[in-house]
Amino acid sequence: MKKGFKFSLFAIFICLVLLFSSASVLAEDAGIQCGGGGCGESSCDQDGDGYSPGNLGWYMAWYCDWSGYEPGDCDDEDGYTYPGAPEQCGNDEDDDCDGQVDENCAVCGNGIVEPGEECETPNTDTCDATCNYKDLSCVEAKDLGILTGSISGGNAQVVNDAFQSYEISLAVYEKYDETYKNQVLFDSDTKIVSAGDSSSFSVDLPDCNYQIDLVCGEVLESLDCDIADPCRYDHKKIDWEHNNDHGYCGAPKEFTLIAHKIVCEEESDLPNWGDGGPEISSTTAEDYVDSHPGCDFEQGWDFQYAPQSASNPGDNTGESSSWTTFGPTDSSGMTSTTVSDMNSLWVREVWENEYLSFSGVGGSDISAEFYCYIDTLNYDNYDKITNTENGGMYYCIGFNVLEEEPYCGDGIINQPSEECDPPSGSSTQCGGFSCLSDCTCEEEPDPYCGDGIVNQPSEECDDNNNQDGDGCSSICLVECENEVLISFNDLLAGTVVDDEYSAYMTVAAENNKAGHPDKAIIFDSDNPTGGDPDLGTPNQDFGGPGIGEGGESGEPGQNDQYLHNVLIIAEDDIDNDNDGLVDDPDDESRGGKLYFNFNQDVDVETLKILDIEDNNGHVKVYDSSDNIIDTVNLQNLGDNSLQDIIVNSDDVRKMTIKFAGSGAVDDIKICADPEEPVCGDGIVEGSEECDDNNNQDGDGCSSECIVEYCGDSIVQAGLGEECDPPTYPGASSQCGGFSCLSDCTCEEGCPDMDISYADADLDQNNSLNAEWTVGTNDCDTTTEMYIFVVDDNSEVIGQWNGTASLEEASIDLSGEVPISFPLSVLYYLYCEDYTECVIGVGEEPYYTTQISNNAVPEFSTIGIVLTVLIAGLGIALIIKKRT
């Protein structure tokens, strides 16, 4: 290296040293504090924010810049102040060193919501001092009116105009009284309602008094407490309702439901209220019938009701098993029932298919009609009664007409296209061929009973014939071992039938004609009475007295059998000769119903029906729970017609036959299961000792068919018994203390005596002092009392009569102990027989019954035992020393 170059490098080094030295001196001259090592980087950035002061000289500025610091810090003692720093609003400083103070800052309270602000009304209910929303509780928001809500029935609506979400609840409580602790939570609904949002709530309401609360927060399970919060809602409530219109929960509420049935001749007579009608009141039905001559009240109609939760079983249906049936209507077309504990309920009628059907909600006014209380809308069979009151009365009316339009299946050949009716399997109208669904006859026969093959669901057997009595019946059913045919031929014409067949059933009737008797009577079809030859059998074509086209030869209802007695509904019950029989039997032309109530489950097989000339008749069978098993419609075959009705139903407890007009029934064939003998049927069988045709006690044959007799411990007053069993010679409580004699009558005379004595003692002279009381309840006469003194051999050696004192006497009783007996007799007794009654204590034969508190009365060393001998003349007290 050249010397000149080396010198140059050295000169540069010397200059740099001088430069830094002078910079340090100059910095100190400028007042900049340097550390113990002189000025350094801390002189460039005292507040540690990475910026050097803006007031440095060029030499120090150059140094700080050379050291990596940004220049321009306008306050090197504040780490939050430097070029480009965020402007901190409200501190009155130039935080970003741009020469301006608080530029672009929001001003709280200037009426403008600026960045960083949520509100512009500082220090108010909802806005704090920094113009931000306050954190409000649900109750505070409710009290300020920015959280609102209302209740309507079981529904509620809440609007949240606050700035945060809240938990809201709707709760309903059953009220058992007005005490909070007795209010029970019934239903609730809880939701979170967001800020600026709204929400709906819903609960079910009970059928009794209730309190419903719309509140802040959770639902309380119990209100059982004595302070307001948190046991009850109080200030947390947004809205509430109290309902006291339905009675306290648990309290019984009863009201009356009254229904009428009106049937009109023409559909045009019906009211057509389905689009709105009057409230149904106590006079609505009667007023309507009075103003419409073509309408009348209908007897024998049933109705049903169910709670508000029940669904509609169908407008055009009969009884529903889940609904409660009431009825039938009486001759004034009315029936009623008492309903308990229902605030709201549905009501319907039991529709019958021979009447016009309901067209339903929104249907045509060519319809059956049913209305209740204020529900007079729609042509349906499903009307509601709401807000019932205890003791209230609520009315319903059903309107209808008979369905008269002919149709295939109505059981009558009444249209040009019909060859048969109703459609069936083997039909006599088709000569054994089937009647098809269009009421025309099939060309080829279906299987039929009697073809020798079990090939139909209804067949239990088929023995290639249609005869009864061979094990397989004429309708192909297995014949039972205990088949019973009730033909009524054992009774006289005019007999009123009720319990004559009590071994199997009882019979009752209901007359459709108001004022006519509800009685079933016997009619002799061999000798028709009442001017009614259409009830004669057989028809004249077959040599009988019957007159009517329906029973003529070749007709579907040809009447070719001698039925003899048949059962009818009586037109009258006149009995002028007082022989217990209706004088001139005739059937009721308006029809009615016959009721057969069986005393056990039976199989109803067949029966015969005579003289059906009206539509709408039927046979119904019911089980033991009164549920319908089956319905068989009666065919209108005309005057004097005869038809066989095949029921073939098992486990039947009740059968009803409805006649729309004239009609009779005969030959009811049932199969009764073999059971124990029926006590009271007049037949001694099985374990029965007797059977006097009744179920009464006290007539010699008990209600259990056991022979009643004296000695069976049962007092049979009807047999002249006064007591049972006999107790002679002992006393009987049934005879008031007298004996019950061997013929179960009470002994006449005195009952058992009531004998007592006071404490007795011997004085120093061995004198016995004792007071005796001898009494009875109902002696008619009295006599003197005798006291006898006897020795050990029962020999009388002293006697006292009447009421005088027994004089002192010396009696030789094993040791010659003298005893005196001063006695006072308070009552007298007279008895008529010679029964001996022992009342003392001691040895046989006299002393068996104790009358003292001690086992053996002891008087000093002497024991006294007593016996009363009841003799014809009176009572003897026998006193004896015990040795």
pLDDT tens digits, one per residue of 55-114 = 887 778 888 888 888 888 888 888 788 898 887 776 778 888 888 887 777 778 787 887
Q: Based on the domain organization, do 546 and 656 belong to the same domain?
A: yes
- Contact criterion met (CB below 8 Å) for 703 and 652: no
The domain that holds 228 is classified in CATH as 2.60.40
* CA distances for 590 relative to 132, 200, 352, 511, 535, angstroms: 90, 60, 18, 8, 15
d(CA 493, CA 524): 6
Q: What is the mean pLDDT of residues 493-517?
A: 94
Among 117-131, 444-458, 673-687, 699-713, the range scoring the smallest mean pLDDT is 673-687
**467, part of any domain:** no
Which is nearest to 819 in space by CA: 795, 846, 789? 789
Q: What is the mean pLDDT of residues 410-420?
A: 83
> Average model confidence (pLDDT) for the chain?
78
**CB count in 10 Å sphere of residue 861:** 10
d(CA 52, CA 70): 6
Token code pair at residue 650: 């098992």
Token code pair at residue 272: 């057509």
Q: Based on the domain organization, do 98 and 145 belong to the same domain?
A: no
**310, part of any domain:** yes
**CB count in 10 Å sphere of residue 275:** 10
Among 562-566, 650-654, 770-774, 835-839, the range scoring the smallest mean pLDDT is 835-839
d(CA 234, CA 691): 77
Q: What is the mean pLDDT of residues 328-355?
A: 91
Q: Which amino acid is at 181?
A: K
Helices (H), 202-342: 284-291
Q: Based on the domain organization, do 261 and 383 belong to the same domain?
A: yes
3-state DSSP assignment of residue 632: strand
Domain total of the chain: 6
The pLDDT of residue 676 is: 65
Domain hosting residue 62, numbered range: 1-105
Tokens 């022992």 belong to 838
The pLDDT of residue 686 is: 65
The pLDDT of residue 801 is: 40
d(CA 621, CA 809): 96
The pLDDT of residue 445 is: 64
Q: Is the peptide bond before 725 cis (omega within 30 degrees of 0)?
A: yes
Q: Based on the domain organization, do 423 and 541 belong to the same domain?
A: no
Which is nearest to 511 in space by CA: 354, 310, 685, 659? 659
Q: Based on the domain organization, do 55 and 148 belong to the same domain?
A: no
Q: Based on the domain organization, do 507 and 637 belong to the same domain?
A: yes
**CB count in 10 Å sphere of residue 853:** 7
Which of 218, 243, 268 terminates a domain? The answer is 243
Among 459-463, 597-601, 828-832, the range scoring the smallest mean pLDDT is 828-832
Global pTM reads 0.33
pLDDT at 750 over 80: no
**118, part of any domain:** no
Among 456-460, 611-615, 641-645, the range scoring the smallest mean pLDDT is 456-460
Among 373-377, 411-415, 863-867, the range scoring the smallest mean pLDDT is 863-867
Element (H, E) at 138: helix 138-143
pLDDT at 658 over 70: yes
- Contact criterion met (CB below 8 Å) for 245 and 208: no
Confidence of residue 226 (pLDDT cuts 50, 70, 90): low
pLDDT at 378 over 80: yes
pLDDT at 854 over 60: no
pLDDT at 861 over 50: no
The pLDDT of residue 67 is: 81
The pLDDT of residue 310 is: 86
Which is nearest to 90 in space by CA: 77, 74, 103? 103
**701, part of any domain:** no
Among 32-46, 77-91, 197-211, 558-572, the range scoring the smallest mean pLDDT is 32-46
DSSP state of 35: B
Q: Based on the domain organization, do 339 and 278 belong to the same domain?
A: yes
Q: Based on the domain organization, do 440 and 520 belong to the same domain?
A: no
Q: Which residues of 509-541 are buried (b: 16+ CB within 10 A; e: fewer)?
A: bbbbbeebbbbbbbbbbbebbbebbbbbbbbbb
3-state DSSP assignment of residue 522: strand
The domain that holds 501 is classified in CATH as 2.60.120
Please list the residues that pair with 862 across neighbouring strands: 859
d(CA 800, CA 419): 116
Q: Based on the domain organization, do 67 and 162 belong to the same domain?
A: no
**223, part of any domain:** yes
**234, part of any domain:** yes
Q: Based on the domain organization, do 372 and 276 belong to the same domain?
A: yes
pLDDT at 778 over 60: no
* Biggest distance spanned by C-alpha atoms of the chain: 194
Q: Based on the domain organization, do 628 and 489 belong to the same domain?
A: yes
List own/partner pairs for 280-289 with CB under 8 A and 24 or more apart: 280/371, 280/372, 280/373, 280/374, 280/376, 280/395, 280/396, 280/397, 281/395, 282/258, 282/393, 282/395, 284/395, 284/397, 285/260, 285/333, 285/334, 285/395, 285/397, 288/262, 288/397, 289/262
Sign of CA dihedral 109, 110, 111, 116: negative
**374, part of any domain:** yes
How would you list the strands of the sheet with 237-243, edge to edge? 183-193, 166-175, 210-216, 237-243
pLDDT at 147 over 50: yes
Q: Which residues of 218-238 are buried (b: 16+ CB within 10 A; e: fewer)?
A: ebbeebeeeeeeeebbeebeb
Q: Is the peptide bond before 307 cis (omega within 30 degrees of 0)?
A: no
d(CA 505, CA 670): 11
Which is nearest to 232 in space by CA: 251, 250, 213, 246? 213
Q: Dump the DSSP string for 467-510.
A: -SSSSB-TTS-BPPTTEEEE--TTS-TTPBPSSTTTTTEEEEEE
Q: What is the 3-state secondary structure (H, E, C) of 712-741?
A: CCCCCHHHCCCCCCCCCCCCCHHHCCCCEC
The pLDDT of residue 394 is: 95
* Cα-trace Rg, the chain: 57
Which is nearest to 541 in space by CA: 550, 532, 529, 531? 550
**638, part of any domain:** yes
Chain-centroid distance of CA 156 in Å reads 33
Q: What is the 3-state secondary structure (H, E, C) of 329-373?
A: CCCCCEEEEEEECCCCEEEEECCCCCECCCCECCCCCCCCEEEEC
d(CA 385, CA 372): 7
Q: What is the mean pLDDT of residues 765-769?
A: 38
d(CA 316, CA 305): 15
pLDDT at 720 over 80: yes
Q: Based on the domain organization, do 47 and 76 belong to the same domain?
A: yes
Which is nearest to 217 in space by CA: 147, 277, 144, 282? 147
Token code pair at residue 695: 């179920």
The torsion of the CA quartet 318, 320, 323, 328, rounded to 10 degrees, works out to 30
Token code pair at residue 298: 């209908």
Q: Is the peptide bond before 533 cis (omega within 30 degrees of 0)?
A: no
d(CA 467, CA 473): 6
d(CA 242, CA 211): 5
In terms of average pLDDT, the best of 84-88, 328-332, 384-388, 475-479 is 328-332
In terms of average pLDDT, the best of 131-135, 369-373, 698-702, 786-790 is 369-373
